[in-house]
Amino acid sequence: MASKNMCAKTRSVDLPYAIFISGGWEWRVLKRYQSMEKEAVNPNAVWFCAVQSPYTFGSWEYGDTYVNDIPGATAGMDFYSETAGTDDQQISITIAG
């Protein structure tokens, strides 16, 4: 039986599933399209993200982002278990650089 995608519901930018920060850039994961198992074998896996960078002047840009383009992120990574199964928790990963 296929596992359920626990991150399929779109969240707001204020309460993302995960936050990745690197070199003045910030990616907030708002939705995952596949279960972790399917995503792990998909080289083109994408997440719906809000992204802020030095080029957005403090605003967020929304769109699908390849997981491989986010520093510190890997397709199929289990950030939902890190939230202890609650709907109002998130993880934050900061990458030096």
Average pLDDT over the chain, rounded to whole?
A: 85
Note the pLDDT tens digit of each residue in 21-33: 998 999 999 999 9
86, part of any domain: yes
- Specify if 42 maps to a domain: yes
- Render the burial of 43-81: b for 16+ CB within 10 Å, e for the rest: eebbbbbbbbeeeeeeeeeeeebebeebbebebbbebbe
Answer whether residue 91 is part of any domain: yes
User: How much of the chain exceeds pLDDT 90, in percent?
Assistant: 59
Calpha distance 77→56 (Å, rounded):
27
Task: For residue 3, tell me if it sits in a domain.
Answer: no
**Residue 31 and residue 15: Cα distance in Å, rounded?**
11
Q: Could you say which DSSP state residue 39 is in? A: H
Q: Which amino acid is at 88?
A: D
* Number of structural domains the chain divides into: 1
